[in-house]
């Protein structure tokens, strides 16, 4: 008889993430170092468990109008069809067309952190994205409509009591369309998600990191493939 258990595997995945986030909070003394530690935990989760068509990195995002986003803690982007990703002295810059999702990673969630994450997400969504017609054996498909960019926040704990309640939903609602957060994980307490009608569902549960990962993958599946990037729109910035 097999000793494998899907419940134990899923539980173990969450417990590993929560434990590593807690260690980062307790043992890393400098605030910046703690932040880097938390970001790395989430990045490693996505780099390990997302399908290989996706990549997860800390990065800036750029568009063909020479506009840049703020630095984003976790950028999930296409690598299969993206023709270029800049890597300058270890700092990555990713074209806006390649982006599927962006997340801010912090130790704790509170109203200030949510506002900060909303600003970060808006700085990406406000960028211009190109979409070219797609040639195929029988002719040409029209340009792919631009997918909505998933935005969210990743933390270890909450500063509110209860951790997931009205103060959280009030803070989430206080943003314009560009800054709306779609998904969030508070590893010690639960997760939240925004539906297509703009309503937020709070899910206090025992394995939020795993639940969040599965919901993210499900949402990425619905986005299919990124649009065909107009490389010439970027090439016009070449100068002698």
Q: 104 catalytic, yes or no?
A: yes
CA 151 to chain centroid, in Å, comes to 6
Q: 87 catalytic, yes or no?
A: no
Among residues 104, 120, 180, 182, which one is catalytic? 104
Q: Which long-range contacts (CB under 8 A, 24 or more apart) does 234-238 make?
A: 234/64, 234/84, 234/95, 236/64, 237/64, 237/66
For residues 192 and 195, what is the distance between their CA atoms, to the nearest angstrom? Answer: 10
Q: 73 catalytic, yes or no?
A: yes
For residues 42 and 102, what is the distance between their CA atoms, to the nearest angstrom? Answer: 12
For residues 201 and 192, what is the distance between their CA atoms, to the nearest angstrom? Answer: 6
Among residues 18, 73, 97, 182, which one is catalytic? 73
For residues 133 and 168, what is the distance between their CA atoms, to the nearest angstrom? Answer: 42
Among residues 34, 58, 92, 106, which one is catalytic? 106
CA atoms within 13 A on the CB side of 206: 5
Residues noted as catalytic: 73, 104, 106
């Amino acid at each position: 008889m097999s000793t494998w258990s899907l419940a134990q595997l899923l539980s173990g995945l969450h417990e590993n993430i929560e434990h590593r986030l807690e260690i980062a909070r307790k043992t890393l003394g400098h605030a910046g170092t703690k932040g880097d530690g938390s970001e790395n935990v989430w990045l490693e989760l996505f780099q390990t468990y997302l399908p290989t068509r996706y990549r997860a990195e800390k990065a800036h995002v750029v568009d063909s109008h020479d506009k840049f986003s703020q630095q984003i803690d976790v950028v999930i982007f296409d690598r299969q069809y993206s023709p270029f990703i800049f890597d300058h002295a270890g700092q990555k810059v990713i074209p806006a067309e390649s982006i599927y999702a962006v997340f801010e990673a912090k130790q704790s969630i509170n109203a200030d952190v949510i506002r900060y994450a909303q600003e970060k997400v808006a700085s990406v969504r406000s960028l211009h994205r190109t979409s070219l017609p797609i040639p195929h054996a029988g002719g040409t498909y029209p340009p792919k409509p631009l997918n909505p960019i998933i935005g969210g926040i990743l933390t270890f704990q909450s500063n509110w009591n209860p951790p997931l309640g009205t103060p959280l939903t009030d803070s989430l609602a206080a943003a314009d369309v560009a800054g709306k957060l779609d998904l969030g994980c508070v590893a010690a307490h639960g997760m939240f998600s925004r539906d297509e009608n703009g309503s937020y569902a709070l899910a206090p549960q025992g394995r939020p990191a795993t639940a969040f990962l599965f919901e993210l993958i499900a949402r990425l599946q619905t986005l299919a493939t990124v649009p065909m990037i107009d490389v010439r729109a970027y090439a016009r910035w070449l100068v002698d």
